[in-house]
Structure 1
Amino acid sequence: MYEWNKLLLVGEQDGVKGDFNTLISMMNYVRYTTLEAIKDISVEELDYLHTPTGNTIGMLLTHMAGVEYWYQLNTFENRDLNLEEEVKWLPGLDLDDHARKTIKGNDADYYINLLNSVREETYAKFNSLSDEWLYEQTEFGRAKATNYFKWFHVFEDEINHRGQIRMIRKLYKNA
């Protein structure tokens, strides 16, 4: 999916137009490193809970997909989750006790497919948008934000949780 010889080149991507090239370049690199962080991972390791109120790697991967899905709704459709979407995505978004009870028993392919399916939708929509869309400003919390910033935040959040994944894997190996 990711070509190593192009992964470190921020800029023009095949089939991508305008300023989306930079954004997609960075999103691709972050995703590649996330997938590398879960290479050869077992279901037991995906479900490992170091502390009773902590996160499992499976929870974090579900969270990454859920965050991206939520930002699709926020930036592409200007809406929040509906009730049906809440049932599917809130456990991963909330990372709470309900998530600890329900997000488990899946292999790495399950999470990779979840991440890939959401990302494919993101990129398909990006291809239909203009550069001007990236710079549109909307209310976001206590300030205004551009769509570009919101999508930067998606992969910034993934980087943060990838660090947690690496730490959890070390804790698992030393448990």
Structure 2
Amino acid sequence: MKTKTLLLFLFLPMLLLNAQGELKSVEGYSPNIGRMVYMLEDLKDRITEQVKDLDQSQTDFQYDAQANSIGALIMHLVSTESYYQVATLEGREWTAAELESVGVAGELNANVNSMLKGEPIGHYLDLWEEVRQKTLAALKTKDDAWFASNIEEGLNYHYIWYHVMEHSANHMGQIGTIKNRLPE
């Protein structure tokens, strides 16, 4: 009984904040894809909530020369989702224009961080929303059989989109760390 009570107290604040305690499949998608959409959207909403009010200096802030800025991390999430969207949902490579516009942050390094300065946080969030809307529209055209099918031996579409979701969760933690180090 003590374990159940302890778990309730540990998770109660999270449940109250989200007003949701279960993963649900989003209507309009096959069940497994709908659950993935729920997770992708939940993470995007939580990251957006963390960063939406940042000013320019906070968006570009790096706590040391090797650190990423929040703007660069959001752009990296845009780039990652766009890459997998184009590859898995459209079955093609990025065009030269896509590579220039969203592919710039496929890798994060000092050069990329220096390039991704001077844009307001809304710029990055708008790009993410644009990419996400394309992802959501394309996922509606797929079913769970496609989702479970292999791209190659040992790698299926479900895992690829799990990776996109996991990637967002990892960078959400980095964004929180950067926010904790923002100058007063």
TM range (shorter): 0.7 to 0.9
Does the alignment pair 1:134 with 2:152?
no
RMSD: 1.9
* Partner residue of 1:164 out of 174, 177, 184: 174
Task: Give unmatched runs, 5+ long, in structure 1.
Answer: none
Deviation at 1:7?
5.4
TM-score (norm 2): 0.83
Task: Give unmatched runs, 5+ long, in structure 2.
Answer: 1-16
2:29–2:143 contact (8 Å) kept in structure 1: no
Partner of 1:13: 26
1:7–1:25 contact (8 Å) kept in structure 2: no
Deviation at 1:130?
1.7
Structure showing greater Rg: 2
* Partner residue of 2:51 out of 12, 17, 38: 38
Distance 2:146 2:165 in 1: 18
**Relative to 1, partners in 2 of residues 1:157 and 1:5: Cα closer, same or farther, differing over 3 Å?**
closer
What SS is found at the alignment partner of 1:138? strand
Distance 1:20 1:7 in 2: 19
Aligned residue type for 1:164: Q
Does the alignment pair 1:146 with 2:159?
no
Alignment of 1:1-175 (within 5 A): 8-139=21-152, 144-173=154-183
Distance 2:20 2:149 in 1: 28
TM-score (norm 1): 0.86
What SS is found at the alignment partner of 1:151? helix
**Relative to 1, partners in 2 of residues 1:7 and 1:34: Cα closer, same or farther, differing over 3 Å?**
farther
Deviation at 1:103?
0.8
